[in-house]
Amino acid sequence: MLVDTKCGRLFVEVRGEGPDLVLWHSLLCDMGMWRRQREALEEHYRVVAIDAPGHGRSGNVRSPFTMDDCVDAAVEVLDAVGIESAAWVGLSWGGMVGMRLAARHPARVSALVLLDTSARPERTLKRLAYRPLQAIASRIGAVRPLAKALTPIFFSPHTLRTEPAIVDSFVRTLTRMDPESIGRAVEAVIFTRGDFTPELSRIGAPTLVIVGIDDRATPPREAEHIAARIPGAGLVRIPDAGHLSALEQPERVNAAILSFLAEQAKSG
């Protein structure tokens, strides 16, 4: 289904039965990033997967948007599919939206799983490195050489060495994306997202933070920073995984998510 939101028309897919659970993927991916998680989660949950603005089967983006706009869009999706409260599972961009949603709309988030994400602004050196890549991508698209240049940022050395099919699938997805939409999303997620650290202590939902040990985009120190500031948050480090841990080590990630959610169901 397509849902009209503040960030444009978003493609949403609902599968499975049970308690509600929402998935929001990383920048430069689409909901296909979650394929191995959906197989496991849909046995126990009604899973709502979202293609983020300008990504996947969502509409192209022609106007600037912000992280706060993404939170508003998330609320609009929840309303459209009839969800009062759901577990939120977000990787990178999805984690950034999830943190803000849980702090600002606490009744809408029953549990929070944050994978490979950051609450702090992007570091200056990375911003300087990413700006030329954004300029190229927003004008001519993520052509294959540019897409391949991003793979060491998104994947661990182990994945690059042993899982070429996963890497090739990422490159194919990226090279199909609309150039202007890439530029708008990168601006919101990397360059203008701001520091959310002061609001982390407001998050009351049970929270699990997951990070790939080899994540270069949002290194483990960012996960540790988040987990230390959200009351009661747990932290799981995934070996042989980079920024896209859900793709690289799906069994380990699934085990961590399912165990955490099962604990919340028992305690609730």
What distance in Å separates the CA atoms of residue 108 and residue 86, rounded to the nearest whole number? 6
In DSSP notation, 162-229 reads: H-HHHHHHHHHHHHTS-HHHHHHHHIIIIIS----GGGGGG--S-EEEEEETT-SSS-HHHHHHHHTT
What confidence tens digit (pLDDT) does each residue in 108-144 have? 999 999 999 999 998 766 665 666 566 655 655 555 6
pLDDT for position 267:
78
Domain ranges of the chain: 2-267
pLDDT for position 85:
97
pLDDT for position 131:
64
pLDDT for position 174:
86
pLDDT for position 149:
78
Residue 100: partners with Cβ closer than 8 Å, 6 or more residues away: 67, 68, 70, 71, 196, 199
Residue 182: partners with Cβ closer than 8 Å, 6 or more residues away: 28, 54, 134, 137, 138, 141, 142
What distance in Å separates the CA atoms of residue 176 and residue 157, rounded to the nearest whole number? 25
pLDDT for position 122:
83
pLDDT for position 114:
98
With a threshold of 0.75, does the pTM exceed it? yes
Task: Count Cβ atoms within 10 A of the Cβ of residue 99 and give its class: 0-12 exposed, 13-18 middle, 19 or more buried.
Answer: buried
Task: Count Cβ atoms within 10 A of the Cβ of residue 107 and give its class: 0-12 exposed, 13-18 middle, 19 or more buried.
Answer: exposed
What distance in Å separates the CA atoms of residue 46 and residue 49, rounded to the nearest whole number? 10
- In the predicted model, residues of the chain with pLDDT beneath 70 are 124-145, 268
pLDDT for position 141:
58
* Torsion, CA 150, CA 156, CA 159, CA 160, rounded to 10: 50
CATH class for domain 2-267? alpha beta
